[in-house]
Structure 1
Amino acid sequence: MTIAEIIVSVMVVLSTVMVVATAVAMWRAPDALTRANLIGPVVGVAVPLLLMGKLIIDWSTTGFDPNNFIRAILAIAGVWIVGAVGSYYLGRSIYGVTVVDVRHAEDRAYQPGA
């Protein structure tokens, strides 16, 4: 086993541990908003680690390819952007459904026909 394969193996194992830990934490989370917020480690660290591992394996077997490097950078940036925006909207929608604003509820209670 080469050094590159050992490094990639450690990265894959670390990513797998993060995904399993996140799955267990989501299973034990008390509500939907907490579950939505627990996706962060997988999107922020585990997926980029897997992409970097693939890049390292490619570099060790075929050499540096600028095309693959740019694609990996774009994929990591894309995962971070989509994860951030998706988490924001998912959290907002869950918060809007599960949390009742007391001031707003009191205002609506006093309005006739509301």
Structure 2
Amino acid sequence: MSVAEIIVSVLVVVATLMVVTTSVAMWRAPDALTRVNLLGPVIGVGFPLLMVSKLIIDWSSTGFDLNNFVRAVLAIAGVWIVASVGSYYIGRSIYGVTVVDKKHAEDRAYQPGA
């Protein structure tokens, strides 16, 4: 096994452990808002580790390719941007549904003349 293959193997194992750990944590999370927030490590670190692993294995076999490098950088940046915006909107929608405003709830509970 070459040094590049060892590095790639370690990176893939770390990314896999992150995915498994996140899956278990999501399973045990108490509510939907916590589940959405738990996706951060996989999206922020796990996916980029897999992309870097792919680049390392390609570079060790065929040499540096600027096209693959640019595509990997764009893919990582795209995942970070889409995940950030998506997680923001999902979190806001879940928060809006699950959190009860106490003042508003008290006003609704009080109905004069009933």
TM-score (norm 2): 0.92
Aligned counterpart, 1:9:
9
Q: Which blocks of at least 5 consecutive residues in structure 1 are unaligned? A: none
Aligned counterpart, 2:67:
67
User: Any idea what the Cα deviations from partners look like across 1:5-46, whole Å, max 9, x if unmatched?
Assistant: 000000000000000000000000011110110000000000
Amino acid at match of 1:59: W
Counterparts of 1:21-100 in structure 2 under 5 Å?
A: 21-100=21-100
Q: Which blocks of at least 5 consecutive residues in structure 2 are unaligned? A: none
Structure 1 stretches of 4+ moved >2 Å: 103-112
Distance 1:17 1:46 in 2: 9
Distance 1:23 1:61 in 2: 33
> 1:73/1:111 Cα in 2 relative to 1: closer, same or farther (>3 Å)?
farther
Distance 2:30 2:60 in 1: 44
Moved more, 103-112 or 93-102: 103-112
Fraction of identical pairs, as percent:
78
Determine helix, strand or coil for the equivalent of 2:30.
coil
Distance 1:72 1:46 in 2: 14
